[in-house]
Amino acid sequence: MVVFIVSLALASCAGMSSAQRLASSEGAAPPLGPREPDAGRHLTLPAGHFLSECLRDLQRARAHIEALLSLPTPRAPEPALTAYDDAMALLDDASGRAGLGANTHPDAAFRDAAARCAQDADSLRTDVSLDPRVYAALAELDLSGEDTATRRWVDLVLRGFRRAGVHRDAETRARLRVLHDALTRLGQAFSQHIREDIRHVDVPADALDGLPEDYVRHHPPGPDGTVRITTDPPDALPFLTYARDNRAREALWRAGQQRGHPRNLETLSQLLQARHDLATLLGYPNWAAYASEDKMVRQQQVAENFIEQLATATASRVKDDYAALLERKQRDVPGAQRVEPWEQTHLKELVRAERYRFDSRELRPYFEYTRVKQGVMDITSRLFGLTYRRVTDAPVWHPDIEAWDVYEGPTRMGRFYLDMHSRPNKYAHPAQWDLATGRAGRSLPEGVMTSNFPRPGAHPALLQHTQVQSFFHEFGHLLHHILGGQTRWAGLSGSRTERDFVEAPAQVLEEWAWRPESLRTFARHIDTGEPLPTDLITRMRRADAFGKGLWLRQQLFYAAVSLQLHAGNPAGMDTTARVNALQERYMPFPALDDTYAHLSFVQLDGYYSSAYYAYLWSLVIARDLLTPFLRHGLMDPATAQRYRDTVLGPGGSRDAADLVRSFLGRDYGFEAYTRWLDDA
């Protein structure tokens, strides 16, 4: 019987092209149940083997496209859409693994191989998006019998083809391919220059006066008696906050402002020009207009108006915050006329201590890394009805990395990896990366969370509260990827919503880092085991209100930089002068010579480019999404389940505004954000 079945299978493939055989084995007959999650295995391969597997997956993606085109007409929607979706899933997963590998892998040869994989994947994606045959095959499908989500997805896919330039003549499409390839290479170079350019200052041991004991312990003097402080956030942020030595803080701040210089001056100029050339070739006035079209804002002017609206709303708060910092400085430096940028964080800490009896160093003993990790998992497990199981035998690409499977009852929903500690040549900022796309019954979603937290060892690894907040934030992205990764189509899976909504679910989860009902479940003193006192949480929340105006203006400055660098023809633009002018417009701190914040502004590459405003746009929505939780309690499982079902679970199956409306029962508004901004 076995031989007979195999013979039939072989006979059925006889005479087929390789593309048809691939579609027969993978597209039309998906496997029973999702495959075992194993995307992490790719990151454990030798560099050459990784690249070979990447190229093999790209060839499989091409075969799926050929299978789509070879279907007899009129094409049935199911096999046609499955073939296209399979191709895009292979491309997305190859790109996801490559992006993670190029930015975080410990091996230099692997990072190079991953960068090559990303280039080839982007090149193939461009080829598909500019292929009129593929567009026609999808546009001609009769979708009258398909569900709403499928019809919406195909509409978005076809819009993407049109935005890519599929209807342009052959010469224009060839030029678009060249520009896309250039954008990939330039974006990789821009990010690599930042990642590899970690600056440092060597300071005398007494420059650490004011730093927490555990920080001092992890920074012993070298043979020459000096202490090396790097511009990596785990080093730099506590130093700029607590160090009493103003000259040392200035030196470190200036070193951070030099990252990416001078190499990224030319790289950024070329990147901006290539984006502008591509946008104008497609008929748009500039890149910002092109990039805004498929976001919630739809138009560049809406994004510009939003930035100005928030700038106006924060004007009085910024003035008050700055005046308080200057007054505090004048007590130490009589006659001081201004606050310098490297003084902001330190002075803010002093004002908070005096006004609200709050010293953020008091929090650190309550935020030991392993307890924070367990706390985030326990809270989200309780809220969303999930179980997390450590997978100790999963292949990982560094000893620090942990693999966890997510279950709902007996059903495995996906897998995530935690890569949480510092190492050389690793992406410096907290982030979440898609590793594998989830599709109902076919593949499980897999994601990776990376950060640069201190590593537990002989002494406990204590976190700043901002790091606890970022843990919740990035874990929110992971949950969105996994809980939303149960859709029929890869193109609707996980967080494939409008990009100016993507941050909202992560920002929602940050609230659990601020409330006693959540914090006291895991935040316990490292020595006494006592839970974080409610009074300290109250003082922390009150103190956080101070400086909110300055923080928002900093974000608005970055949003304006992101948008305005892309708002016109960049030919001949002095990007440094342009950024300095925007700083003078949005920030109360002077723009200083020989500083280049834009050259290490990682979000200018890739996903956000001109749309950094999305962080604040999403925050407006997130504050409104929190209103039912604040009404019923953060730990209310019924509210959490409804949020999961209406916002996270659908993935990209509906427009973001519809997801929000289904949870709130109304359109989102500005009121909740205004209340949060005015909270003091």
> What residue ranges do the domains of the chain occupy?
2-129+131-167, 200-253, 365-547+615-678
What pLDDT is recorded for position 670? 93
Q: Tens digit of pLDDT for each residue in 606-630?
A: 779 999 999 999 999 999 999 999 9
Q: Which burial class, exposed, middle or buried, applies to 404 when counting CB atoms under 10 A from its CB (0-12, 13-18, 19+)?
A: middle
Residue 622: the pLDDT is 98
Residue 201 forms beta bridges with which residues?
229
The DSSP element (H or E) to which 204 belongs, if any, is: strand 200-204
Distance of CA 423 to CAs 97, 101, 141, 532, Å? Answer: 19, 14, 50, 31
Cβ(567)–Cβ(288) below 8 Å: yes
Residue type, 203: V
Q: Which parts of 401-555 are beta strand (E)?
A: 402-408, 411-421, 431-436, 446-453
Confidence at 35, pLDDT banded by 50, 70, 90: confident
Percent of the chain surpassing pLDDT 70: 95
> Average of pLDDT values for 199-207?
97
Is the preceding peptide bond at 262 cis, omega within 30 degrees of 0?
yes
**pLDDT, position 23:** 39
Read off the tokens for 583: 């700083």
Q: Is the pLDDT of residue 531 over 60?
A: yes
Site of tokens 């100005």: 308
pLDDT at 11: 29
pLDDT over threshold 80, residue 13: no
Q: How many CB atoms lie within 10 A of CB 39?
A: 23
Could you tell me how many residues make up the chain? 680
Q: How far apart are CA 527 and CA 592, in angstroms?
A: 44
pLDDT band at 3 (very low <50, low <70, confident <90, very high): very low
Average pLDDT over residues 547-556: 95
CATH number of this structure's domain 365-547+615-678: 1.10.1370.40
Residue 10 has a pLDDT of: 26
For residues 547-567, give the mean pLDDT. 96
| Spatial separation of the C-alpha atoms in residues 567 and 304, rounded to whole Å | 10
What is the chain's mean pLDDT, rounded?
Answer: 93
Residue 364: its pLDDT value, please? 95
SS3 state of residue 412: strand
Are the CB atoms for 446 and 40 separated by under 8 Å? yes
Helix, strand, coil in percent for the chain, rounding step 5: 60, 10, 30
For the residues 463-490, what does the mean pLDDT come to?
A: 97
The domain made up of 2-129+131-167 has a fold known as Glutathione S-transferase Yfyf (Class Pi); Chain A, domain 2 (1.20.1050)
Helices (H), 484-533: 503-510, 516-519
Q: What is the pLDDT of residues 382-441, one digit of tens each?
A: 999 999 999 999 999 999 999 999 999 999 999 999 999 999 999 988 999 999 999 999
Instruction: Tell me how far apart the alpha carbons of residues 77 and 118 are, in angstroms, rounded to a whole number.
Output: 30
Q: Is the pLDDT of residue 336 over 70?
A: yes
Q: What is the mean pLDDT of residues 670-676?
A: 93
Q: Are strands 226-230 and 387-390 parallel, antiparallel or unpaired?
A: unpaired
Stretch 486-502: mean pLDDT, rounded?
96
**Mean pLDDT of all residues in 177-184:** 97
- The whole-angstrom separation of Cα 55 and Cα 478 is 27
SS (H, E, C) 82-136: HHHHHHHHHHHHHHHHHHHHHHHCCCHHHHHHHHHHHHHHHHHHHHHHCCHHHHH
Calpha distance 565→582 (Å, rounded): 10
Q: Is the pLDDT of residue 205 over 50?
A: yes
Locate 460 and state its tokens. Answer: 């406990």
162 alpha carbon, distance to own chain's centre? 27
**In angstroms, rounded to a whole number, what is the distance separating the alpha carbons of residues 259 and 273?**
22
- pLDDT at residue 8 is higher than 60: no
pLDDT of residue 57: 98
Which pLDDT belongs to residue 100? 98
Q: What is the pLDDT of residues 146-162, one digit of tens each?
A: 999 999 999 999 999 99
* Least confident among 75-84, 175-184, 438-447, 452-461: 452-461
Which position has the token pair 């909202």? 504
Sole residue written with tokens 């052959």: 170
Q: Strand pairing partners for 402?
A: 418
Output the pLDDT for position 2. Answer: 30
Q: Which residues are bridge partners to 431 per DSSP?
A: 450
Instruction: Measure the CA–CA gap between 149 and 154, rounded to whole angstroms.
Output: 9
Local confidence band at 366 (pLDDT 50, 70, 90 cut-offs): very high
Residue ranges of alpha helices (H) inside 293-368 are 300-332, 344-356
Respond yes or no on whether the N-terminal peptide bond of residue 74 is cis (omega within 30° of 0): yes
> If pLDDT is split at 50, 70 and 90, which confidence band does 33 have?
low
Phi, psi of 126 (to 5 degrees): -65, -45
